[in-house]
Amino acid sequence: MYDDILLIDKPDGMSSFGVVARIRRVLSQEAGRKVKVGHTGTLDPFATGLMILVTGKMCREAGSFSKLDKTYEATIRLGEVSSTGDPEGEITALSSHEPTLEQINDCVKQFIGVIEQRPPMFSAIKIDGKRAYQLARNGEVVEMPLRTVTIDSLEVVAYAYPELRIRTDVSSGTYIRTLAQDIGEALGTGAYCSQLRRTRVGEHTIDAAKTLADFGITS
């Protein structure tokens, strides 16, 4: 456990760095020494699901996990937009138009394959050496560079306006918040990602993950 990978089911409302800090504290107490713990890719605080943590000597292998493809399950709320693309931002009503399921299915097809995305300003991407979210919180308007990503599959799981549930397999670097916003824009309704869960990273799935409670962590 001290030179290994740990599969963790991150709870909502907690930062990825908070998860790392709590696991580090528990492992260090068990080992009687400071155990090095790192992550291989963050999840937004509102998101839940699979995080791969690396410990000890495995920390040097973190990069090999960060580029793996991923699977997400997301709930997209139509008719409203968020300043951050998620429920933590300022929510504004935009449209009362209710697309049909046929329109939804036709819309999502255009996002399957190799596409270009503009990552959200509230992200951990570095711009001139600073995190984009830090610049955004300071009121600075940042032009985020486009990036090429791959959406291998995009399935409508359920739809009952205003909530659209999807499951998608994506390449590393894909922002589901941006995908939700782009779907809303294509539908003409506006949208934001209200719930997000990561269920797979490479060959690792959420079924094999431990919760923080398994480590005796309650908060």
Phi/psi for 154 (5° steps) reads -150, 110
DSSP state letter for 79: T
Q: Is 80 helix (H, G, I), strand (E, B) or coil?
A: strand
Residue pair 107/187 in contact by the 8 Å Cβ criterion: yes
**Cis peptide bond N-terminal to 162, omega within 30:** yes
Of 197, 198, 166, 159, the closest CA to residue 180 belongs to 166
β-bridge pairing 80-82 and 91-93: antiparallel
Rounded Cα gap, residues 163 and 183, in angstroms: 13
Q: Which residues are catalytic?
A: 44
CB neighbourhood size of 10 (10 A): 26
